[in-house]
Amino acid sequence: MELALVGISGGFLAQPFPFRLGLCIVRPVAAEPWTPDTEQALVVRAKEGDKKALGLLLTRFGPILFRSVLLPRLGNNAAAEQALGDTYLRVVERIASFEWQGCGIYPWLRMVALHVAVDLLRARRREVLFGPDDLQREAEAAERDLSDGDLTDSLIERRDLEATRSTLERALEKINPRYASAIRLRIIEERPREEVAQALGVSTATFDVVLHRAMTALRKAIAPKDPFAGES
């Protein structure tokens, strides 16, 4: 069984979900009926310390968190895998505090993953697609979603992918085409620095400067406009 990753604007090539040692809790399993009652029963067991029940929940929702929450926002597999592992640890620590609501456990898992991504972005010293403030706003919105009983897992996933793709595409259209190319090749497609530098016709040292400026321009394009900017 393979779970295809959905990329931003086709930037991430379809590929199997990375069932690596560090992500062993998300392994392909035989499909079984999954209903709200099944999910709620597993949550009750997980809150009582049943590791198998918690494993089944993360097996169900881990790939969705990876492909629609973490990978689009963090921009590469390595960062998304690290964030997924950190999300699992945080879920294990906090599952006992989860209170079941009609929308199920996924909105809560998504909120946890977004907060993990915020922490990761604040700690990392590398170029990323979205800044921590952008994700912090999403995490706060995710907390409000917990009380919305009309939300479904598939609806949230589709909304996440569409929103991220739309935001990124609009921002890339606003910046210098050369900057946009640098971001697409290096960050989204994850091509080697040397290869991208050659494609742009610059040295690797110059490319690092170009990419830094490109990411700065992208974050400015993504950032919400200050309604009071320019007022005296």
What is the predicted pLDDT for the residue at 48?
A: 94
Contact 5, 18 (CB under 8 A): no
Read off the CATH number of the domain in which 126 is found. 1.10.1740.10
pLDDT digits (tens, 9 = 90+) for 139-159: 666 666 665 656 666 667 777
Query: Percent of the chain scored above 70 by pLDDT?
Result: 67
What is the predicted pLDDT for the residue at 198?
A: 94
128 vs 122, more confident: 122
Give the Cα separation of 100 and 119 in Å (integer).
26
Q: With 80 as the cut, is the pLDDT of residue 120 above it?
A: yes
- 229 in any annotated domain: no
Given 89, 116, 151, which residue is the final one in a domain?
151
Which domain does 205 fall in, by range?
A: 171-224
pLDDT digits (tens, 9 = 90+) for 90-118: 999 999 999 988 778 999 999 999 999 88
Rounded to the nearest integer, the mean pLDDT of the chain is 76
- 146 and 175 inside one domain: no
- Relative orientation angle of helices 204-222 and 193-200, to the nearest 10 degrees: 90
Read off the CATH number of the domain in which 201 is found. 1.10.10.10
What is the token pair recorded at 37? 């009652």
What is the predicted pLDDT for the residue at 150?
A: 60
- 141 and 205 inside one domain: no
- 178 and 98 inside one domain: no
Specify the number of domains making up the chain. Answer: 2
Q: With 70 as the cut, is the pLDDT of residue 9 above it?
A: no
What is the predicted pLDDT for the residue at 216?
A: 85
pLDDT digits (tens, 9 = 90+) for 31-87: 457 888 999 999 999 999 999 999 999 999 999 999 888 988 887 788 889 999 999
Question: Distance of alpha carbon 55 from its chain centroid, rounded?
Answer: 20
- 7 and 85 inside one domain: yes
Instruction: Give this prediction's pTM.
Output: 0.55
What is the predicted pLDDT for the residue at 57?
A: 95
Question: Distance of alpha carbon 28 from its chain centroid, rounded?
Answer: 20
- 55 and 136 inside one domain: yes
What is the predicted pLDDT for the residue at 184?
A: 87
What is the predicted pLDDT for the residue at 231?
A: 45
- 13 and 127 inside one domain: yes
Q: With 80 as the cut, is the pLDDT of residue 211 above it?
A: yes
- 98 and 8 inside one domain: yes
Confidence band for 227, pLDDT divided at 50, 70 and 90: very low
Given 121, 151, 181, which residue is the final one in a domain?
151
- 230 in any annotated domain: no
Given 151, 181, 196, which residue is the final one in a domain?
151
What is the predicted pLDDT for the residue at 26?
A: 44
- 45 in any annotated domain: yes
- 156 in any annotated domain: no
- 105 and 200 inside one domain: no
What is the token pair recorded at 15? 């590929």
What is the token pair recorded at 181? 């190319």
Confidence band for 168, pLDDT divided at 50, 70 and 90: confident
Kindly list the distances between the CA atom of residue 228 and the CA atoms of 134, 137, 219, 222, 223, in Å, as whole numbers in the listed order. 19, 19, 19, 17, 14
What is the predicted pLDDT for the residue at 84?
A: 95
- 45 and 116 inside one domain: yes
What is the predicted pLDDT for the residue at 102?
A: 75
- 62 and 116 inside one domain: yes
